[in-house]
Amino acid sequence: MNTGKIEIIYGEGSGKTAMALGKGLQALAYRKKVIIIQFLKGSQDQDKMEVIRRLEPEMNVFRFEKSGCNFEELSDQAKQEECANIRNGVNYARKVLATRECDLLILDEVLGLLDQEIVLEPELEQILECRGGVDVILTGRLLPESLAVMADRIDRITRIASGREI
């Protein structure tokens, strides 16, 4: 049975999403279908996503959140409401893997769902175990050990200094 690879891009530095998108573009060069599901970014910056939308149907980007700001900036009540939307995104990721809808699934900032306790580690592990031949890229700030042992590749992004400190 062909098992898809799991790649994790994590760390406090910026560039995780850009690196994952770059890997998505590389997959397109090999005529692979790519699906990107972004979490905890709200519905902001839709204009920036317009460039990626031009790559449809080979690369599709989904955001299930309705709020116009990052999850951490929401009130407690708004977070509860947004959690239902985020769960829809998680369920869609599960469906994409179960139906083998793509060759590469990028779950951008999915590790943040663990930090926010929207998804628990065993649930994410279970979703990943259903990947079949689909490659999966996960991004986020923190990496739990249980996911690290599942990974075929791990890249850690670290900020060395800001531009003024160099």
Q: How many domains does the chain have?
A: 1
pLDDT digits (tens, 9 = 90+) for 23-67: 999 999 999 999 999 998 866 566 667 777 788 888 999 988 888
Domain membership flag for residue 112: yes
pLDDT digits (tens, 9 = 90+) for 12-21: 988 999 999 9
Domain membership flag for residue 1: no
Neighbour-count burial for 104-129, b at 16+ CB within 10 Å, e otherwise: bbbbbbbbbbbeeebbeeeebeebbe
Quote the pLDDT of residue 53: 78
Q: Which CATH number do you get for residue 120? A: 3.40.50.300
Domain membership flag for residue 22: yes
Give me the domain span that covers residue 65.
Answer: 6-160
Query: Taking 70 as the threshold, does the pLDDT of residue 5 lie above it?
Result: yes
Question: If you ran DSSP here, which 8-state letter would residue 71 be given?
Answer: G
Of the chain, the percentage scoring pLDDT greater than 70 comes to 91
**What is this structure's pTM?**
0.90
